[in-house]
Structure 1
Amino acid sequence: MTTKLTLGRRGLLQLGGAALATPMLMRTAWAADKFVCKIAHSEAIGSPFTNAFDKWTAILNEKSDGRIEAQHFPASQLGGLAQLLEMSRIGTIQVTAAGPDSEEAIAPEIAATAGAPGFIYKNEAHVDAVLQGDIGEEISRIAREKTGVEFIAYGEVGFRHLLTKAPVTDLASLQGVKLRVPQVTIWVDFWKLLGANPTPLPYSEQYAALSTGVIDGLDSDYFSILGFKWHEQATNILPTYHWFLPKAIRMNAAWLDALPADLQELCRTSAKEVFAEQRAINRAGADKALEDLKAVGCTVHPFPAEEKARWEEKSASLYDTFGATSPETAAMIAKIRALA
């Protein structure tokens, strides 16, 4: 009887130990399956783009039941654009956003879809025909192969315009104006053709550069001019619509591939849904953002169709120059222009 009781107690102790260990094992397994997703970019706080990332972050956390821990760092909090691009490629962060032109050195055929060369996109319907169709899928595959990131969706900041200290109203008044450009060759070449003095600078340095006179102006969308308060240093706007900047939502491919299949699907489908909404909001709000800029003291100068035509003609040689980068780039430019 004593032996049986002892064995019974031992069995109960073993059973109790296993019962106590089970929640610990479950917590350990859950922790091992938790994937931290750092989302970092350079867009302004309060912009439609940043608001979309806020929404997407919440969706990833909620709909993954906590298996994805998404963290959002807007407005260059983790570094400038060049740093964020490199961090997303090596996996230090998992997601960033930038125009496809940022891959100019690695995959110039991708850069062509970022409104490069200037005036290649005629309107927003043209943009959608390119990026929401076969070309959008193609450049995502190219990005995966050549850069280690997947373009899982496309947002946008829209058409870019000129913001300058002194009025620029035509080609004559543009000559020699020091304009900030990203550190991308095609942007430099575009403004040189038009007679400006392009000055490559990191995105985060534009306010200081305006205030100190390092630059006389910049080109940007209306939301960013408001969000980063560049209008405090320059108040003249020329609505040129010269460059449309889509933003690829770039996810580190190795990190994405390591997720369970359902979480991979969640990342891709939720990004597409959120940034489709972002594009609609961005387009609907652009006119209001311009009115807001007028309200804070900006002057909007007219840009007649005949003047725009002169700018287009002056910069048209860039199609051939940029297309000469590679046969793939020339083919991509031709496909984009054919969809207009």
Structure 2
Amino acid sequence: MSSSDLTRRALLSLGGAAAIAGVAPARAQGTPVVMKLASATINDVIHHWMKTFKAAVEARAPGRIKVELYPASQLGAIPRMVEGTALGTIECFVTASSFLTSLDPRFEVFDVPGMIANTAHAQRVFSTPEFRQLAFGFGGAKGLEPISAFMHSPQAVVSRKPIRSIADFNTQKIRVLSTPMQIEPLRKLGASPVPMPLSEVMPALQNGAIDGFIAASTIFSALKFYDAAKFQTELPQWPIIALATCNKAWLAKLPADLRAIVQEEATKAEAPTNEFGAKDIQAAKAIWLQNGGQIIALSPEDTTAFAKLVNSTAVAILRGNAAASEAFQKFAALAQQHKA
């Protein structure tokens, strides 16, 4: 995936660079620790988590830590922010789990459709000790340590011409997240999947380089994509899961009490973030419609066919990696256990 296309040189140096990042003292005398917290989006549930986390951490450790927020790809395109977090030049990156799969294929378990039904279901699953023990170990060998997980929003596809049936995907150039979990199902539908960072999507949509793109539904309104395309087709049971992921060496070098504050407030920020996220999903739909957009639902028959194709493709991909397959079985069991 483009987000996972770290340079060969960077990949070879991840371990060493992460270790070097942890060598510097976590806090010089009288100088607060700086925590750069980055994302590709703004005015969405990720940004809400970032603001909630910053306020709480700085309130608990005044003068000891300064959390600097960099939403809207201010620190670079998604691949560069993934790389920067792994190498330690960025302390924390909040992103869709799909963009981390190059560093650890176990992150792919979050891309399997049909596991998480809605925000409330996600909150029940992600708050369990079993989930946190499983998922917060992903990425460790490449210098990452997740500290928070929450549902972003359902996925949808925005297109220049309407997609009213799965047949309408045929021949269309669709931007996808750079993961086989999106690339392979779109190919089977006859579309041409185009992996692309979010920061490049708007101009590509405007100049016709792509016909549409798949993303978390709330960002369409937050980033005003209704100015470039008017048709939004809902994709069943295929939500985006967001992870806040720190540089592992940086986190380990924090004083124990400060590290505990960071981890505890990351968890506490999830409840208000989930509340905001559930409301934001509905608000985003209203904004889309108010700005001349259309929201399209597939027929019941196409919904069933789409869900079956995407799910079967995803499970087959996971079978190709023993660690990812084992992680998926545990995740799927937790998701089933905590359904309403």
Q: Give the TM-score normalised by structure 1.
A: 0.84
| 2:132 counterpart (132, 136, 145) | 136
CA–CA distance in structure 2, aligned partners of residues 147 and 129 of structure 1: 28
* Unaligned runs of at least 5 residues, structure 2: 1-26
Q: Is the CA contact (8 Å cut-off) linking 2:154 and 2:238 kept in structure 1?
A: yes
Output the CA distance in 1 between the equivalents of 2:49 and 2:311. 35
CA–CA separation in structure 2 for the residues paired with 1:285 and 1:142: 28
Q: Deviations over 1:22-71 (max 9, x none)?
A: xxxxx97323xx21111111012x22321331232233223211110111
Partner in structure 2 of residue 13 of structure 1: none
In 1, Cα distance between equivalents of 2:49 and 2:327? 29
Partner of 1:23: none
Q: Are residues 1:193 and 2:193 paired?
A: no
Match of 1:71 among 68, 71, 79: 68
2:94 counterpart letter in structure 1: A
Matched, 1:159 2:159: no
Look at both structures and tell me which one has the larger radius of gyration over its CA atoms.
Answer: 1
Instruction: Give the share of equivalent positions with the same residue, in percent.
Output: 21
Quickly say closer, same or farther: Cα 1:142–1:223, change in 2 above 3 A: closer
Describe the SS at the equivalent of 1:262: helix
More displaced, 318-327 or 199-208?
Answer: 318-327
The answer for the alignment partner of 2:16 in structure 1 is none
- The equivalences for 1:292-303 within 5 A come to 292-303=287-298
Q: CA deviation at 1:183?
A: 2.5
C-alpha contact (below 8 Å) 1:102/1:111 kept by paired residues: no
* Paired residue secondary structure (1:29): coil
Normalising by structure 2, what TM-score? 0.84
Aligned-partner Cα distance in 2 for 1:330–1:176 = 32
Please, which of 159, 162, 177 is the counterpart of residue 172 of structure 2? 177
Q: Is the 1:161–1:242 contact (alpha carbons within 8 Å) kept by the matching residues of 2?
A: no
Letter in 1 for 2:49: A
Q: 1:126 to 1:156 in 2, by over 3 A?
A: closer
- Name the counterpart of 1:6: none
Tell me which residue corresponds to 1:29. Answer: 29
In 2, Cα distance between equivalents of 1:196 and 1:256: 42
Quote the residue 1:147 is aligned against: 142
Q: Which amino acid aligns with 1:301?
A: I
Query: Runs of 5+ in structure 1 lacking a partner?
Result: 1-26
Q: Within 2, Cα distance between the matches of 1:135 and 1:37?
A: 26
Supply the RMSD in Å over aligned alpha carbons. Answer: 2.0
Distance in 1, matches of 2:136 and 2:280, equals 28
Q: Deviations over 1:228-264 (max 9, x none)?
A: 1111111011122342111111111111111111111
CA change 1:250–1:320 in 2 (3 A) is: closer
Would the alpha carbon gap of residues 337 and 306 (structure 1) be closer, same or farther in structure 2, given more than 3 Å must change? farther
C-alpha distance in 2 between matches for 1:241 and 1:317: 14
Q: Note closer, same or farther for the CA distance 1:54–1:124 as it changes in structure 2 (3 Å cut).
A: closer
2:22 — aligned with what? none
* Structure with the higher fraction of residues in helix conformation: 1
Aligned residue identity for 1:259? L
Structure showing greater relative contact order (alpha-carbon pairs closer than 8 Å, 6 or more residues apart):
2
Number of positions where the alignment pairs a residue of Structure 1 with one of Structure 2: 308
Corresponding residue for residue 118 of structure 1: 113
Instruction: Find the aligned partners of 1:274 and 1:221 in 2 and give their Cα distance.
Output: 20
Residue 39 (1) aligns with residue 37 (2): yes
Matched, 1:287 2:285: no
Distance in 1 between the 2:55 and 2:117 partners?
35
Over residues 122-148 of structure 1, what are the superposed CA-to-partner deviations in whole Å (9 max), with x where a residue is unaligned?
44454345433213321212322x221
Distance 1:319 1:93 in 2: 31
Name 1:51's counterpart in structure 2. 48
Q: Could you tell me which of 303, 311, 318 is aligned with 1:308?
A: 303
2:63 is equivalent to residue 62 of structure 1: no
- 1:108, CA displacement in angstroms? 1.4
* Separation in structure 2 between the aligned mates of residue 311 and residue 293 of structure 1, nearest angstrom: 24
